[in-house]
Amino acid sequence: MSITSILISSIFTLVGPPNQDMWSFSATSSGSDFSWTAPSPINPNGDDYEMLYTITGATVMVSYIGIQFGPIDVMDMVTEDVIDTWRAAQGPAPVDFGWISVVFPVGQNPPSMSYDWLVEIDTKGNTTFQMENLYLGISEYDLGWPWGTVSVNLESGTITADLGIASVTPPCYADINNDTVVDVVDLLEIIGNWGYCHECMADINRDSLVDVTDLLELVGSWGSCP
C-alpha cells in the first residue's frame, strides 16, 4: 500500500464516512434480479437522508425472427418523472427510500418494460440499489431496411444512472413557501397544484404527483416549522 493510500485511510478512520456522496453505475438484466453496492459508505448516523437518482442512459437488446439487434437507445421512452427521482427518509440507518415501480411506455398494456427498484442504507453506511420483477415484453421499432417497423421482443435492458445520497439537517418539506411555518398558504399551494406536477414544491414527497399523500404530510407538519 502506498503512503498516499495509508494517509487517506487514516484520515477516513479519524473523521468517519462523509455525510454525502454520489456514484455512477450501470444495471443490465435479461429478467433476473440485480443488486449494486456503492464503493464507499456514507455517515449512517444522520437524522434525515435525501436521495437523488438520475437515469443517464437506457438501452435494450431486441430480437426479430430470431435475429438480435442492439443495443438500441430507448431514452425517449423514459418519462421525466422516471429520469429524475428524489426521495427522503428518516435516519439513522438502516433506512430505505421505498420501492419504486417503473413502467414504460406509459399507457401501453402490457408494457414494453417494467421493473421495481429500491435504494437502502445499512447500519455501516453502505448504499445498495436493488432491481427486481423485471418484465421484458414487445415493442414496435423501426429496424430500417429491409424490415421497417416491426414488433420486436425485448431480450435485455441496461440502465446507467447517477445516485446521490446526503445526510441532511431535519428538513421541513411541508413549508412550501419557506416562511418557517406550515399554514393555509402552503395548503393553498397544495390545492392549486393538485395532480401531476413534476419538480414543483407542492409535491412534498417528490413523486411527481400532488395528492392526498402530500396533503397528509402538510397536515402532520402544521404549525411552526424551522
CATH code at 181-224: 1.10.1330.10
Average pLDDT over the chain, rounded to an integer: 89
226 CB-near residues (< 8 Å, 6+ apart): 172, 180
Q: Output the 3-class SS for 138-161.
A: EEEEECCCCCCEEEEEEEEEEEEE
Q: Binning pLDDT at 50, 70 and 90, where does residue 94 land? A: very high
pLDDT higher than 90, residue 128:
yes
pLDDT higher than 90, residue 100:
yes
pLDDT higher than 70, residue 75:
yes
Looking at residue 197, its pLDDT comes to: 85
**CA distance linking residue 176 with residue 186, whole number of Å:** 6
Which amino acid, one-letter code, is at 174?
Answer: A
pTM for the model stands at 0.80
> pLDDT digits over 7-38, tens only?
344 444 445 789 999 999 999 999 999 999 99
Q: What is the mean pLDDT of residues 205-220?
A: 87
Q: Binning pLDDT at 50, 70 and 90, where does residue 6 land? A: very low
**CA distance linking residue 29 with residue 12, whole number of Å:** 35
Position with higher pLDDT, 11 vs 125: 125
Among the listed residues 188, 74, 81, the one whose alpha carbon sits nearest the alpha carbon of residue 142? 74
pLDDT higher than 70, residue 142:
yes
Sequence spans of domains, the chain? 17-168, 181-224
> pLDDT digits over 168-203, tens only?
987 888 888 888 899 999 899 999 999 988 778 898
Phi, psi angle pair for 16, to nearest 5°: 80, 175
**CA distance linking residue 208 with residue 200, whole number of Å:** 8
Looking at residue 15, its pLDDT comes to: 57
Looking at residue 221, its pLDDT comes to: 87
